[in-house]
């Protein structure tokens, strides 16, 4: 699943529009929609989305031995 699909699915589960989400993270709906289409949503923006929607967010590198280096929010 690509990032934009993940964000859309999250919005659907949280019953919030993409436009409202973009406003909550301090962006215009037009700008955020362009980022979704280009696939250029940053990890900082993903963490902001997690914060405003009160969900967890993880981003990780997984080493060959299974060790994870994780960036997480909440």
Confidence (pTM)? 0.84
Evaluate if residue 73 carries a pLDDT over 70.
no
Residue 34: per-residue pLDDT: 97
pLDDT at 47: 93
Please check the confidence at residue 68 and state whether its pLDDT lies above 90: no
3-state SS record for the chain: CCHHHHHHHHHHHHCCCHHHHHHHCCCCHHHHHHHHHHCCCCHHHHHHHHHHHCCCEEEEEECCCCCEEEEEEC
Residue-wise pLDDT tens digits, 30-65: 999 999 999 999 989 999 999 999 999 888 889 999
**Could you tell me the residue ranges of all domains in the chain?**
3-73
Which of the four pLDDT bands, split at 50, 70 and 90, describes residue 1? confident
Pick the CATH number of 3-73 from 1.10.287.3510, 1.10.260.40, 3.30.70.3000, 3.30.565.10: 1.10.260.40
């Amino acid at each position: 699943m690509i990032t934009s699909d993940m964000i859309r699915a999250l919005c659907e589960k949280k019953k919030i529009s993409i436009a409202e989400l973009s406003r909550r993270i301090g962006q215009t709906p037009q700008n955020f929609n362009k980022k979704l289409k280009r696939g250029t949503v940053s990890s900082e923006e993903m963490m902001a989305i997690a914060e405003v929607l009160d969900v967890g967010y993880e981003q990780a590198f997984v080493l060959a031995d299974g060790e994870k280096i994780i960036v997480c929010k909440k």
